[in-house]
Copies of this chain bind each other. A is one copy, B any other.
Amino acid sequence: MTEHSVVHNTFVIERTYNASPARVFSALSDPVKKRRWFAEGEGFVIDEFTTDFRVNGLELTRFRPVGGPPMRNDCVYQDIVHERRIVFVYTMMIGDKRISSSLATMEIVPVGDKTQLVYTEQGAYFDGADQPKNREEGCRELLGKLEEELQNHP
Contact = CB atoms under 8 A, between A and B. Distances in A.
A89 B91 CA distance: 10
Contact of A120 (B56, B78, B89, B124): B124
A81 to B, nearest CB: 6
A85 interface: yes
A79 interface: yes
Interface residues of A, dominant DSSP: strand
A122 B98 contact: no
A85 B98 CA distance: 12
Nearest to A126: B79
Residue in A3, A81, A101 with the greatest tally of chain B CB atoms within 10 Å: A101
Interface residues of A, number: 28
15 contacts: A4-B81, A4-B107, A6-B87, A6-B105, A8-B120, A56-B74, A76-B89, A79-B101, A79-B126, A87-B101, A89-B103, A102-B103, A103-B103, A105-B124, A122-B124
